[in-house]
Structure 1
C-alpha cells in the first residue's frame, strides 16, 4: 500500500532522515519505535506532504505520492498529529466535521460521524462542548475521530499516548485495534514501545535518522537490545 524508498530529509544543515525505507501492506498495523529526535515524526510529515524530501521516493497504491497535504488526504491518507492539535475554540462536532472538509458526500459524512460516535461514545456525549475544555484523553479521541472523518484508507498516528494517564493509554491502544477492524491500515509512531509492539504486526526501529532493525513486532520485542533500550528490562515480554 505505502512504500518509502531511500528517503532523505534535511532541516537546514541537519540530515534528519538518512536513506529510510519502509513498506506497509493493506490491513496492517506497522509501528516505528525510537528515541526522541530519531526522525519518527519527520518521516510521517514527509509522507503527509508537510515536509519536502531531497532524495528518495514515496509511492501509495503504486502511484507517486504528491508532496501536497490536501492531495495526500484526497488520496486516502490522514495524519493524527502529535499533541492532538484540536481546534480549541470550536465544538467537538465542528472539529469532526472539519475532518471531512475535502469531502462532498454528505450522506456518507453523516454515516461516518455516527461511526465515530459509536467508536468514541464520550464524543457523542460532549458533541456541543468546546474542544479546548476536554481532557487530554478526550482530545486524543477527538483528534483520532477527526482523522477518521476524512474517510482514510491509511492512518498515520503520531504519539497517540503522549501525556496520557496509564489507564487512558490502554484505552487508546484498544481503539487503535478497533480502527484496524474497521478496515483501516495504520502506521503508528510511538515512544511507548511496549504498547506499540503489543498491537502491531510489524515494526521498524529508527535511530538517528536510520532504520537499524525491522521485523515482526514479536521478533523486535524479543530482541535483547530492544528490550534493554526501549522496553526497560531484558525480561519484559510482549
Structure 2
C-alpha cells in the first residue's frame, strides 16, 4: 500500500532523514520505534505532506503521492498527530465533523460517526462538551476518531500513548487493534517499543535518521539489542 524509498529530509542544516526506506502492506500494522530525535515524527509528517522532502519517493497504491496535504487526505491517508492537536474551542462532535470536512457523502458520514461512537463510547457521552475540557486519554480518543472521519485506508498514528497513564495506554492499544479490524492499515510511530511491536505485524527501528533494523514484529520484540536499548529490565518483567 505504501512504499517509501530512499527518503531524505532536511531541517535547515540538519539532515533529519538519511535515505529511509520502508514498506507497508495493506491490512497491516507497521510500527516504527526509536529514541527521541530519531526522525520518527518527521517521517510521518513527510508522508502526510507537512514536511518537504529533499529526495526519494513516496508511493501510495503504486502512485506518487500528491504534494498538498489536503490532496493526500483525499486519496485516503490521514495523520493523527503527536500531541493530539484537537480544536479546544469546539465541541467533541464538531471536532469529529472537522475530520469529514472534505467529504460530501452525508449518508456514509453518518454511518462512520456511528462506528466512531462504537469504538469510543466515551466520546458519545461527551458530544456537546468542549474538547478543551477533556482528559488526555479522551483527547487521544477524539484525535483518533477525527482521523477516522476522513474515511482513510491508511492511518499515520504518531505517539498515541504520549503522556497517558498505563491503564489508558492499554485501552488505546486495544482500540488500535480494533481499528485494524475495520480494514484499516496503520503506520504507527511510538516510543513505547514493547506496546508498538506487540500490536504490529512488522517493525522498523529508526536511529539518527536511518533505518537500522527491520523485520517481523514478534521477532524484533525478542531482539536483545532492542530490549536493552528501548526497554529497561523492570519494564520487560512487567510486560512479558
Asked if structure 2 preserves the Cα contact closer than 8 Å seen for 1:50 and 1:67, the reply is no
- Residue correspondence of structure 1 range 1-238 to structure 2 within 5 A: 1-233=1-233
After TM superposition, give the deviation of residue 67 of structure 1 in Å.
2.0
1 CA distance for matches of 2:76 and 2:218?
29
1 CA distance for matches of 2:64 and 2:82?
25
Asked if structure 2 preserves the Cα contact closer than 8 Å seen for 1:116 and 1:145, the reply is yes
SS for the counterpart of 2:9 is strand
Asked if structure 2 preserves the Cα contact closer than 8 Å seen for 1:31 and 1:189, the reply is yes
After TM superposition, give the deviation of residue 106 of structure 1 in Å.
0.6
Q: Which structure 1 segments of 5+ residues have no match?
A: none
After TM superposition, give the deviation of residue 28 of structure 1 in Å.
0.1
Alignment deviations for residues 95-146 of structure 1 (CA, whole Å, 9 cap, x no partner): 0000000000011101100110011000000000000000000000000000
Asked if structure 2 preserves the Cα contact closer than 8 Å seen for 1:51 and 1:67, the reply is no
After TM superposition, give the deviation of residue 233 of structure 1 in Å.
2.8
Q: Which structure 2 segments of 5+ residues have no match?
A: none
Q: Which runs of 4+ in 1 moved over 3 A?
A: 234-238
The aligned length equals 238
Structure 1-normalised TM-score?
A: 0.98
SS for the counterpart of 1:82 is coil
Asked if structure 2 preserves the Cα contact closer than 8 Å seen for 1:91 and 1:131, the reply is yes
Asked if structure 2 preserves the Cα contact closer than 8 Å seen for 1:66 and 1:72, the reply is yes
1 CA distance for matches of 2:181 and 2:11?
37
RMSD: 1.1
Structure 2-normalised TM-score?
A: 0.97
After TM superposition, give the deviation of residue 218 of structure 1 in Å.
1.2
